[in-house]
Amino acid sequence: MAEAHQAVAFQFTVTPEGIDLQMSHQALTEIYLSGMRSWKKRIIRLKNSVITGVYPASPSSWLFVVIAILATMYTRSDPSMGLIAKIQEHLPVSTQCQAVVSAVLFSTMLWLLLIFTMRLCLKQLLSYHRWMFEQHGKMSNTTKVWVALVRIFSGRKPLLYSYQGSLPNLPVPAIKDTVKRYLESVRPLMDDTKYERMTKLAEEFESSLGNRLQWYLKLKALWASNYVSDWWEEYIYLRGRSPIMVNSNYYGMDFLYVTPTPIQAARAGNSIHAFFLYRRKLNKEEIKPSRIPGTVIPLCAAQCERMFNTTRTPGEETDTVQHWQDSDYIVVYHRGRYFRLRVYQAGRLLSPREIEFQIQRILDDPSPPCKGEAKLGALTAGDRIPWAKARMKYFSSGVNKRSLDCIEKAAFFVALDDDEQGMMGDDPAASLDRYAKSLLHGKCYDRWFDKSFSVVYYKNGKNGINAEHSWADAPVLSHLWEFTLAFDSFQLGYNAEGHCKGDVDSSLPRPQKLSWEIPPECEEQISQSLAVAQALADDVDFHVFPFQDFGKGKIKKCRVSPDAFIQMALQLAYYRDQKRFCLTYEASMTRLFREGRTETVRSCTNESRAFVQAFDADVCSRLFRTALEKHQLLYRLAMTGAGIDRHLFCLYVVSKYLGVESPFLKEVLSEPWRLSTSQTPVQLSEMFDPVNHPEYVSPGGGFGPVADDGYGVSYCVVGDCMINFHISCKRSCPVTDTHKFGAQIRKALHDLLQLLSPTQKEPSKTVTQGKKAC
């Protein structure tokens, strides 16, 4: 165990002559450099905390205020109106220093008061959302003044978390408004009898129990920064006892048409290096705060805090999310073995070429896995309670605990697959479907589904990412993923042979293989968890396709929202596929508010139903426009805190705490989402070059179906000429079929474009020619 010896700083031996002390200079140097790196990070955190704490002012503005006050005192005027003199009376210092010290103290208090006032003003400004409901391209004078004020109070060069203290709290909607919107949302799904019954339940709830629950919810909203997020994380994610693989985790794909290098280790070297560069920028808060595209409005960045060094640990009743401040290594899985790979050496980040060298060492390592190690990851893929019990029983001490701690405290998890994936071969459509399934669940034991994210590198140089959902939502991780893809290809690059650029230090210590002592009882539990996970994975059907006949460019020319257009296409496609309407979930973000996460847009409305049913009628175009406008209104309401589902969910949680039953809330929260949809936004378009390199495009990512008899649909609008779709369903359901539904989506998209622009000719539908069809 050479690695173990290298980690020992000193050894001693007791002899008749005394104690023989042997010091390891290399180990002591490593300890010193590691300590220096840790202290540098602490200093950076302290500095950023000060800068963020005084935002929207700057630390240097304190000196300006002090000089200004001292200058006015020099002219024998008193800007403090007697406060400086009162401070002087209580100072123990000598008379000569009293005036200066009291002036500095007054200046500091004045400076803090100004900061508080500016932050309060900015918070009030960011609470204004009327701009979102104005007609596109027509900005009112009020909004113009508001935009100017937001720019003034936003300060200069904000850090990532600078706006956190100025973001408004998520408001609690009125009970009557939420109930009214809910009844309106279920009307197209119910006949008159069912709707009348639900209306009576809603009225009884609103007039009795609802007001009591609302009082407790408002009390929480006054105390907490967000009345939804902590309960949402706990009850929707962490208390779920079913497998998180497929049911909760989601994935992201590599470039669709290009592979920067066919060498697996080289691709890993560049992108792992890029991941750690992103983490460095994240720790220094050098990443620009996210904003609503095309505006100055900031979004909450709280979810970024747990991106790295984070894992979900299982419990019998509820899981927990654990986050560590730092980690200088990753854990790599290959052919049933786990390796610890340090990415820092002598206090510096390894170069991409050095990481490639270390990854290649793992690929070439002939050692077999320990007994029970090969499929150990299946524990994270199965039910949570057996995993929690096994963790407590078999991994709470000894070598197993040390190895499990190593995985859980790693910056992130890496899996090296022997398979080849991507859009390839004679059937590119089928290969994309296999690629999606591989990223979502793999072999059910070759990922560590509890880590905040796991990166998968395939034999042919393709990669992808699998993410745990409780710590953050997809847009946060997609920002990291887009940065990594772009930095890997356009900043780092590869040499002519496809290897990472630069030199390598061959004296680097080898990656350390983790050791395990898995008893037969634990192996039995691993087998049981694998059986549960395998059945779940086998039941998932996926269809991924890039729609390239047209994109948001032509949709916007028709003066409609691309998202609303796609949602109406999904409504039309689902009705044609199932001959009925269903409760539809579209994820909207509430990051305009502090610690905001998501809200639901109920896309199936009275207006969309009327449009779909009258599709072939003469009034169809007018009904389509009405349905689009309704959807945009619902989306804006959800973004501004006036949604339906999170409010009802929190009222239900309060009722459970109080031990009271609500037939209305119980029925609302038991309704199945047979069509669950989400758009993956493209956030770092400036890092790509769609003009010179249009082939460098990622198809986004996807997730598993929410209902056993429903579909999961993720879509990503890329550039002006492409919309990527990821469709999932259960094979065990006889009435759902991803390929059939995909065909209906394609047809619906063409039909809707034809409806908006009747002269539009239908373009080519082939995947490979699609890049030029737009």
Reading the block at residue 299, the tokens are 């979004």
Separation CA 611–CA 755 (nearest Å): 12
Is residue 469 flagged as an active site residue?
yes
pLDDT at 771: 45
Of 540, 562, 591, the residue that ends a domain is 540
The SS3 call for residue 739 is helix
Is 704 or 295 the better-scoring residue by pLDDT? Answer: 704
Catalytic residue among 469, 499, 647, 726: 469
- Asked whether residue 128 falls in the same domain as residue 206, the answer is no
- Asked whether residue 548 falls in the same domain as residue 693, the answer is yes
- Asked whether residue 461 falls in the same domain as residue 576, the answer is no
The SS3 call for residue 513 is strand
- Asked whether residue 548 falls in the same domain as residue 590, the answer is yes
- Asked whether residue 570 falls in the same domain as residue 623, the answer is yes
- Asked whether residue 43 falls in the same domain as residue 114, the answer is no
Of 479, 514, 540, the residue that ends a domain is 540
Lowest mean pLDDT among 4-13, 88-97, 717-726, 739-748: 4-13
252 neighbors 472 (Cβ within 8 angstroms): no
Of all residues in the chain, the percent with pLDDT exceeding 70 is 92
- Asked whether residue 6 falls in the same domain as residue 73, the answer is no
User: What's the domain range around 220?
Assistant: 175-235+542-756
Distances (CA, A) of 84 to 75, 78, 80, 382: 15, 8, 6, 68
Pairing, β 584-589 against β 675-679: parallel
Q: Residue 316 falls within a domain, yes or no?
A: yes
- Asked whether residue 222 falls in the same domain as residue 338, the answer is no
Quick one: CA dihedral 423, 426, 431, 433, positive or negative? Answer: positive
On the question of pLDDT at 411 being above 70, the answer is: yes
On the question of pLDDT at 632 being above 60, the answer is: yes
- Asked whether residue 605 falls in the same domain as residue 737, the answer is yes
Mean residue pLDDT of the chain comes to: 89
Name every residue whose Cβ is closer than 8 Å to that of residue 32 and which is 6 or more positions away in sequence: none
- Asked whether residue 612 falls in the same domain as residue 660, the answer is yes
pLDDT at 767: 41
For residue 760, the 8-state DSSP code is: P
- Rg, Å, the chain Cα set: 29
On the question of pLDDT at 226 being above 60, the answer is: yes
Q: Residue 295 falls within a domain, yes or no?
A: no
Q: What tens digit of pLDDT does each residue of 46-79 get?
A: 777 777 777 888 888 888 888 888 888 777 777 7
For residue 156, the 8-state DSSP code is: S
Write out 62-100 in H/E/C secondary structure: HHHHHHHHHHHHHCCCCCCCCHHHHHHHCCCCCHHHHHH
- Asked whether residue 79 falls in the same domain as residue 202, the answer is no
- What's the mean pLDDT in 219-242? 95
- What's the mean pLDDT in 645-653? 97
Q: Residue 159 falls within a domain, yes or no?
A: no
Q: Which of 23-37, 86-100, 403-417 has the highest mean pLDDT?
A: 403-417
Question: In 3D, which of 293, 688, 284 has the Cα closest to residue 475?
Answer: 293
Q: Residue 726 falls within a domain, yes or no?
A: yes
Separation CA 705–CA 247 (nearest Å): 7
Q: How many CB atoms lie within 10 A of CB 511?
A: 22
Spell 711-740 as b/e; 16+ CB within 10 A means b.
bbbbbbbbbbbbbbbbbbbbeebeebbbee
Bond prior to 56 in cis (omega within 30° of 0) = yes
pLDDT-derived band of residue 770, with 50, 70 and 90 as boundaries?
very low
pLDDT at 8: 43
Q: Residue 770 falls within a domain, yes or no?
A: no
Strands ordered across the beta sheet of 598-602: 540-547, 722-730, 711-718, 675-679, 584-589, 598-602
**pTM value?**
0.90
Name every residue whose Cβ is closer than 8 Å to that of residue 652 and which is 6 or more positions away in sequence: 662, 665, 666, 668, 669
Lowest mean pLDDT among 3-12, 565-574, 623-632: 3-12
- 47: amino acid identity, one letter: K
The SS3 call for residue 557 is helix
Lowest mean pLDDT among 156-165, 266-275, 475-484: 156-165
On the question of pLDDT at 93 being above 70, the answer is: no
Q: Residue 318 falls within a domain, yes or no?
A: yes
How many structural domains is the chain composed of? 4
Which CATH number covers residue 435? 3.30.559.70
| Phi, psi (degrees; rounded to nearest 5) at 97 | -95, -15
Q: What tens digit of pLDDT does each residue of 453-485 get?
A: 999 999 999 999 999 999 999 999 999 999 999
pLDDT at 774: 60
- 746: amino acid identity, one letter: R
pLDDT at 681: 84
Of 517, 540, 563, the residue that ends a domain is 540
Q: Residue 323 falls within a domain, yes or no?
A: yes
Question: In 3D, which of 197, 193, 347 has the Cα closest to residue 280?
Answer: 347
Helix-then-strand count for the chain, H and E: 26, 20
Separation CA 708–CA 705 (nearest Å): 7
Q: Residue 400 falls within a domain, yes or no?
A: yes
pLDDT at 37: 65
Q: How many CB atoms lie within 10 A of CB 127?
A: 15
- Asked whether residue 637 falls in the same domain as residue 748, the answer is yes
pLDDT-derived band of residue 388, with 50, 70 and 90 as boundaries?
very high
DSSP letters along 286-349, please? -SPPPB-TTSS-B---GGGGGSSSEEEEP-SS--EEEE-S--SEEEEEETTEEEEEE-EETTEE
